[in-house]
Structure 1
Amino acid sequence: MTFHLFRLECLRMLRDPRYLALAVVAPIGFYLLFATIFGGDPTQPGELKGTVEIMVAMAAYGAIWGALSATGPRLAHERSSGWLEQLRSMPVTARHLLTAKIAAGLAVALPAIVLVCVTAAVAKDVRLAAWQWAALVPAMWLGTLPFALLGVVVGLLVGPEAAFPLSYGLYMAASALGGLWVPPARLSAPLQDVAHTLPTYRLADLGWRIAAGHAPTWADVAVLAAWCAGFAALAVLAQGRRPRRARTGAASAAAVG
Structure 2
Amino acid sequence: MNMLRKQCIAEMKRVLRNKYFVFWSLVMPIAFYYLFTNVVNTNVADKGAWNAHYLMSMTTFSVMGSSMMTLGIRLVQERAQGWSVFIRITPLPDHIYLAAQMIGQSVIHLLSITVIFLAGAIINSIDLSLFEWVMSGLWILIGAFPFLALGTLIGLMRKVETAAGVSNVLYMLLAISGGMWMPIEVMPDILKNIGQWLPSYHFGSGAWALVQGELPTWKNVLMLIAYLVIFMLLFKYIRRKQEAV
Asked if the contact 1:70–1:148 (Cα under 8 Å) also holds between the matched residues in 2, the reply is: no
**2:23 aligned partner:** 21
Corresponding position of 1:86: 86
Matched-pair contact (CA < 8 Å) for 1:69–1:105: no
Alignment deviations for residues 81-110 of structure 1 (CA, whole Å, 9 cap, x no partner):
111111111122221121112212222222
**How does 1:69-148 map onto structure 2 within 5 Å?**
69-148=69-148
Deviation at 1:20, TM superposition (A): 0.3
Q: Distance in 2 between matches of 1:30 and 1:151?
A: 23
Give the structure-2-normalised TM-score: 0.94
Partners in 1 of 2:43 and 2:49 — Cα distance? 8
Consecutive unaligned residues of structure 2, counting only runs of 5 or more, are: none
C-alpha distance in structure 1 between counterparts of 2:23 and 2:213, whole Å: 32
Q: How many Å separate the matches in 1 of 2:44 and 2:19?
A: 38
Please say if residues 39 and 49 of structure 1, whose CA atoms lie closer than 8 Å, have aligned partners that are also in contact: no
Amino acid aligned to 1:29: A
Residue ranges of structure 1 left out of the alignment (5+ in a row) = 246-257
The letter for the 1-side match of 2:204 is: A
CA 1:209–1:132: 2 relative to 1, 3 Å: same
* Structure 1 position 52, deviation (Å): 1.1
Partner of 1:217: 217
TM-score with structure 1 length normalisation? 0.90
Structure 2 letter corresponding to 1:89: I
Q: CA RMSD in A?
A: 1.6
Confirm or deny: 8 A CA contact 2:68 2:154 kept in the other structure: no
Q: Distance in 2 between matches of 1:192 and 1:41?
A: 24
Structure 1 residue aligned with 2:184? 184
Tell me by how many angstroms 1:25 deviates. 0.7
Distance 1:156 1:62 in 2: 22
Identity of aligned residues (%): 25
Residue 124 of structure 1 deviates from its aligned partner by 0.4
Contact 1:146–1:227 at 8 Å: present in 2 too?
A: yes
CA contact (8 A) 1:153 1:231 kept: yes
How many pairs align? Answer: 243
